A and B are shown apart, each in its own frame.
Chain A
Amino acid sequence: MTAIGQSLPRKEDPRLLRGAGRFGDDLQRPGQLHARIVRAPQAHGVLRSVDVSMAVAAPGVVRVLTAADLPDDPRIPVRLTVQGIELTEHLQPVLARETVRYVGEPVAVVLAEDPYLAEDAAELVALDIDQLPVAMDADAGTVAAEFELGFGDTDAAFAEAEHVVELDFDVGRHSAVPLEPRTLLVEPDRATGALEVFGMTKVPVFNRGVLASMLDIDEARIRVHAMDAGGGFGVRGEFYPEDFLVAWLALHTGRPVKWTEDRAEHLVAVNHSRQQQHRISAAFAADGRLLGLRADVAHDNGAYCRTHGIIVPELTLAMLPGPYRVPAYRGRIAVVLTNKTPCGTYRAPGRFEGTVVREQLLDMAADQLGVDPVQLRRRNLLEPAELPHTRPMSTLGTDVVLDAADYPGLLDAAVAEAKRLGYYAQVEQSRAAGKRVGLGVAMFLEKSGLGPQETADVSVGTSGAVRVHSGGTSLGQGIETVLGQITADGLGVSAADVTVINGDTALQPFGAGSWASRSTVVGGGAVHEAALAVRERAIEVAARILEVAVADLTLHDGVVEVRGAPGQRVSLAEVARACQPGSAWLYAGEPAGLAARRRFEVAHMTYPYGAHLAVVELDEQTGGVRVLRYLVAYEVGRAINPELVRGQLIGGVAQGVGGALSEEFGYDESGQPQAVTFMDYLMPTAAEIPEVDVLVTENAPSADNPLGAKGAGEGGLTAAGAALANAVRNALGEAGSVARLPMTPARVRAMLAGEAG
């Protein structure tokens, strides 16, 4: 029985469920100091002075760091430069020097003997700020970048159109809020000058390089240990100001320095996301054929460009046409800087935003054309025979080549499943009972498996235990389990015998990290190839021991065996021992060890897809929206661990419900954030999330990786805003129209009164 395809229990769970997880804040080092960041209390101003005299004199304080103490003006580089656009002048300094640009911007760091004293002293740092006018929306901001993506002749398409539909829509500012805020602990080795960094779970190898270059030391002197994490979702593990500051302080004080972000900080410090204003229009022929699509987007990026640069705006445009046949497309986006927390990616970046406008536009078009919304989609979805389909525009440095898919098949399956589960009947019955309910359908295209490469090491120890050093990181998604299953099948052992070590830059210095739904696809590809290489090597050495030809051997269940002669066998442990230095089975000059490192490269991403169906009920008096039913249908190519795919999708829905209905980082007109606690930043709880129905299909395996897998990390979220907006639109009927997310009760109440919500 193969491990791939089984819902094996997670390798991570025994430690996580027994409280034995390795989280950053659990670590303590002798002599450690605690950092507290002093943050700007105003949204925009000239920083006249930072007076640290009282703070320095406070009990337990070891050092107070300001920008003046740093040799030059260190700024955090962009991790992914796209569209050839230079952003140097918009990068965030690690500490504000002359100007503060958002509430929460780091201005100083207090280092003290305990976190309480550090927080006490941080209050004593006196900032003299001359307030400047604030830019609180895209119209008032500074344009940092502006670009277009597209193909075909949209002018001609709109000129010949029988129907044109247009939508203005705002997506609200919200972001990932992992249960565990960030933690960093940096321990210097005073003998060697090396730094051990604990934290940074996402792209540790990249961050190690950034840190080495900013500290001007060789990267081999830094070892990053990505820790267990209570969720990542895009925001955790990027290189933030704190990642430099904590390491710098450890290097310069010679003592371990720890920083644990608190929730109030988290909500103003980590990347925000999503805030965009869209004007989108579509041209249709009389028969409902989509002729062209135009989008004009303003992307509010907050005060600076951080590590993600402009990839969210780029993904917004590149993915906006979705799974449809779009002959002509023109997307234009302005990336605007405002006096708010800077932005980055949040699970399904760009796709959540683009999908919510495109899918509403299709529903509006269906109304205008007088056709069923599902039929209109079906008419315009690319057919399997049209794939692969190349869109002449690039994103994340690769061309958009839509790979194997059956979009209409998935949409049909999703609608059939919703009918089978009684969604449509429930809507009819509820309407008959006088309730204001609505059903929304949204189709989406995802992307996954971003390259260019991932590297994996697989080795077999003398006990026969298999170890994998992968470049992924464990963010709670279960990647250790998935890579263990892939290794087990590739090598011919039980998944239980495989241990996966993630995110240690010393053990795997070429890892590219876990993001962009890439680890199963690209990391899995590397692990698969390394496991095959170890298998080949094991058979080769076993052939010497058993004195038979390589071709006569098989490897399964941890044993190499002569085909047709089951008694003639040697265990993987014995083969591993035979590969030890000094073994008689090793040839002269042959490297010791039963291990292999392999690099897996991909030229293009692979594009999963799916559909969301939601049923909502509106309270006409309060404007409250209750999600009654929710279905995600998702094509994953090949489900390595079906239960984990399911878990990913359900978790994504929960976040999508939040972004669609309640989560929003609001600001007042002076730039003060209005959501800095969980009383005001309203993540949905178990009470607000319905039972989620999941339909996972494996009808369109990817041809670009040996497993056929497509990423599963984001599709639960991608169309949630769209499906819920369409469901609310459907419930509103003639009463009003949706104009923005989140659809809070106050806004829905206004929509019910016929105002644009």
Chain B
Amino acid sequence: MKPAAFTYHRAHDVRESIELLTELGEDAKILAGGQSLAPMMNFRLARPSALVDITRVTGLDYLRHGADGLRIGALTTHRTVETASELAGFDVLPRSAHWVGHYPIRCRGTFGGSIAHADPTSEWCLLAVLLEANIVLAGPRGQRTVPATEFFHGFFATAAEPDELIVEIHFPEPARQAALTEFAQRQGDFAIVAAAVRLSSVDGQCTGGRVVLGGVDPRPLVVDISNALDGAAVTESTWDAVGELVAGQLDPPTDAHGSGAYRKQLAATLVARAFAEAAAR
């Protein structure tokens, strides 16, 4: 469990990061906290030729909440999000942060790093898709923005080019009634299944909703619930029905932590629980 040889480069600002990425080529990787990358390197599952350490880049550690929504700097730690106050409309983010790994991981791991890593059970990836966030990338050709719904291509695969760096995640629209819940056998483990939902309702009647699942597909999976919620009562039986509707559309993989069939059962349960939690907001 010693990593294969690599060169190490510390970048001091975004421009230098991009220059280094350009110079070092596509086998270089960004180190933005190292909570996933370092273990993968130690197992030699990842063998970057070079690491560009951006953890000392200044100006990428922020939460800006304003009229145009919430902007999260890429180097903002999970712990910073967890302890953020006054994120009205976006408080599903701090509420969900405790699901991210363990305390030491949350203190070092970063929001942008998690998005870039694109683990399909990652809480931030699910919420970025749920809330239709935009991923802001900086590269040698300037900045561009990719909707989260198009950003995740598969296990650890994204729309980011090798010479691009995530600088910000922009959540344009608040979602007051949103929740994420998940199930793993131990506190802090990767979810077997995770469910993120948002709901809109008026006077005890649902007017719409959205479901994104982790652990059932190589990407955060948006499940079509069409109009199932429109006009439905804000009650437990509605959530159960939507859970079953969602599970019926899934064909999840089997692995050592659970069969596909078990994951479908979990999805039904977790979607219902997440809606109940969202409705209580």
Contacts and interface: CB of A to CB of B under 8 A. Distances in A.
B189 interface: yes
A175 B12 CA distance: 47
B183 interface: yes
Interface in A189-238: none
B98 to A, nearest CB: 11
A679 B43 contact: no
A684 to B, nearest CB: 7
Interface stretch (A49-57, A298-306, A742-750): A742-750
A119 interface: yes
B258 A746 contact: yes
Nearest to A622: B183
A263 interface: yes
A115 interface: yes
Contact of A746 (B4, B44, B259, B269): B259
A685 interface: yes
Interface string B241-279: 000000000000000111100100110010001000000
Given A119-B2, A677-B43, A744 B185 contact: yes
Nearest to A747: B262
Contact of A263 (B1, B3, B257): B1
A684 B258 CA distance: 18
A262 B190 CA distance: 22
A328 to B, nearest CB: 41
Given A662-B186, A679-B189, A679-B190, A264 B1 contact: yes
A687 B188 contact: yes
Determine the main DSSP class of A at the interface with B: loop
B5 A621 contact: no
B183 A745 contact: yes
A675 B2 contact: no
Contacts of A746: 257-259, 262
Contacts of A674: 256
A746 B189 CA distance: 16
Nearest to B273: A621
B270 to A, nearest CB: 8
Interface string A256-274: 0000001110000000000
Nearest to B43: A264
B189 A682 contact: yes
Contacts of B4: 120
A679 B185 CA distance: 11
A541 to B, nearest CB: 57
B262 A749 contact: yes
A622 B194 CA distance: 12
Contacts of B190: 679
Interface in B20-75: 43-44
A146 interface: no
A682 B183 contact: no
Interface string A686-699: 01100000000000
B187 interface: yes
A688 B186 contact: yes
Which of A115, A123, A621, A624 lies at the interface centre, i.e. has the most chain B CB atoms within 10 A of its CB? A621
A5 interface: no
Nearest to B263: A746
A147 interface: no
Contacts of A745: 183, 185, 192, 258, 262
A685 to B, nearest CB: 6
Contact of A621 (B187, B192, B265): B265
A746 B261 CA distance: 10
Contacts of B5: 116, 120
Contacts of B189: 679, 682
A647 interface: no
B39 to A, nearest CB: 8
Interface in B151-175: none
Contacts of A41: none
Given A621-B265, A622-B266, A746-B262, A682 B1 contact: no
A421 to B, nearest CB: 25
Contacts of B192: 745
A322 to B, nearest CB: 30
Interface string B116-159: 00000000000000000000000000000000000000000000
Nearest to A36: B2
A45 interface: no
Which of B189, B192, B273 lies at the interface centre, i.e. has the most chain A CB atoms within 10 A of its CB? B189
B188 A662 contact: no
Interface in B173-197: 183, 185-190, 192
A287 interface: no
B87 to A, nearest CB: 26
B256 A685 contact: no
B261 to A, nearest CB: 9
Given A666-B256, A746-B259, A115 B185 contact: no
A661 B3 CA distance: 33
A687 B187 CA distance: 6
Contacts of B44: 123
A552 interface: no
Interface string A664-688: 0010000000110101101011011
Which of A622, A679, A680, A682 lies at the interface centre, i.e. has the most chain B CB atoms within 10 A of its CB? A622
A115 B4 CA distance: 11
Contacts of A621: 265-266, 269, 273
A666 B259 CA distance: 14
B229 to A, nearest CB: 21
A258 B44 CA distance: 22
A261 to B, nearest CB: 10
B7 to A, nearest CB: 14
Interface string A644-673: 000000000000000001100010000000
A675 B185 contact: no
Given A120-B4, A674-B256, A685 B188 contact: yes
A677 B256 CA distance: 12
B187 A685 contact: yes
Interface string A25-66: 000000000000000000000000000000000000000000
Given A119-B2, A264-B1, A684 B186 contact: yes
A123 B265 CA distance: 42
Interface in B93-130: none
B189 to A, nearest CB: 7
B188 to A, nearest CB: 7
Contact of A682 (B2, B43, B185): B185
A661 B1 CA distance: 28
A746 B264 CA distance: 11
Contacts of A685: 186-188
Contacts of B265: 621, 749
B182 to A, nearest CB: 10
B185 A624 contact: yes
Nearest to A116: B2
Interface string A718-750: 000000000000000000000000001110010
Contacts of A115: 2
Nearest to A662: B185
Which of A685, A687, A746 lies at the interface centre, i.e. has the most chain B CB atoms within 10 A of its CB? A746
Contacts of A624: 183, 185
- Give me the 5 closest cross-chain CB pairs, A-B, nearest first: A687-B187, A621-B269, A262-B1, A746-B262, A674-B256
Given A621-B273, A666-B256, A688-B186, 9 more contacts: A119-B2, A263-B1, A624-B183, A624-B185, A661-B185, A679-B189, A679-B190, A685-B187, A745-B185
8 contacts: A262-B1, A263-B1, A264-B1, A624-B183, A624-B185, A662-B185, A674-B256, A675-B256
